[in-house]
Amino acid sequence: MDKTLKLNSLTKKYGSFLAVQDLSIEINPGIHAFLGPNGAGKSTTLLMILGLIKKNCGSVYYQNEILDPFTKGSKIFHRIGFLPENGDFYPNLSGEENLRLFFRLKGFNKKSIIKEKSIELLKWVNIPDSFWEKKTRTYSHGMKQRLALARAFIGNPDLIILDEPFQNLDPIGRDDIIHLIKKRYKKDSIIIFTTHETYEAEQLASDIAIFKSGQVVLNGKLNSIAGNMKHQNFSLEFSHKSQSIDEMKSFLKNQTNLISNLNLEADGIITFKTDQPEVINKLMLERNYCFDLRPQLGTLGKIYRDIINGGI
């Protein structure tokens, strides 16, 4: 089955204002950041994907099926999770009751399963059990944001769309949510999130689409974008404790034609310079290493500023 989400010539106008302009991209399984300043068209694009606003022209296909409730109902919508930018909950229901309600709306019927899965999601987003039965009107903004994230993952969806998932979170809460989403990601699914913060995109996404004035001006794998723009500082973190960091460092040290300035940081992250990150990525995959190869923190910020300020 084709897992790709295809956006073809999406356009949205509000009067004379062109919010999204002839936008066409293909989104493969992975975690994707829609990055751009406020008003760049990120959220409008998400709402057109979901059919929550009507597009002026263009089409959206997912798993070879058109997504457009205005012209054709789609059974695939129940496999989509959504966190809206300004979503809320029934204030006189508890967090657990809200989740149970949305489970039923998603087609779940068995009460014991609904309760079990609701509690599992509340635990996953780290809402204290003392709040599970409290009315959501008593929740802080940050706690509501965590509950909204839990709601988006109801039913283990194939396509998850998160509009500004980190708003109302302090830096510790933001890093916690980044970690939770990474752990929750399942193979062959698509997660799309919007942000105007390069840190969030750098830490979570494998793929970046940079929006400017209603258009995608840069789109691709983060490593490829950095490599193509001659940013050569990368970091490599290993995600399986059974793997020997010393062994992997020795392997990388032998790649003298690809790597220079190799260092092992105190937190177990290996840093180095390379102008061929895709080759390094391939070599690591061939050795069955579990790893996360990324440009060093701050690289995306430099690229983003150049694009938004007109330097690229």
**For residue 254, pLDDT beyond 90:** no
Model pLDDT, residue 73: 58
Would you say 223 and 202 are in contact if contact means Cβ atoms under 8 Å apart?
no
How many C-beta neighbours within 10 Å does residue 302 have?
15
> Tell me, what's the pLDDT at 168?
83
pLDDT of residue 274 exceeding 60, the answer is yes
Per-residue pLDDT tens over the stretch 66-122: 887 776 656 777 889 999 988 789 999 999 999 999 999 998 999 999 999 999 999
Task: Please tell me the predicted confidence (pLDDT) of residue 286.
Answer: 86
The answer to whether domain 5-221 and domain 229-308 are alike in fold is no
Q: Indicate the CATH number of 229-308 among 3.40.50.12780, 1.10.760.10, 3.30.70.1280, 3.30.70.580.
A: 3.30.70.1280
pLDDT at 81: 95
Under CATH, which number does the domain 5-221 receive?
Answer: 3.40.50.300
pTM beyond 0.95:
no
The pLDDT tens digits of the residues spanning 120-129 come to 999 999 999 9
Percentage of the chain with pLDDT > 90?
Answer: 60
What's the whole-number average pLDDT of the chain?
89
So where are the chain's domains? 5-221, 229-308
Between 8 and 79, name the one with better pLDDT: 8
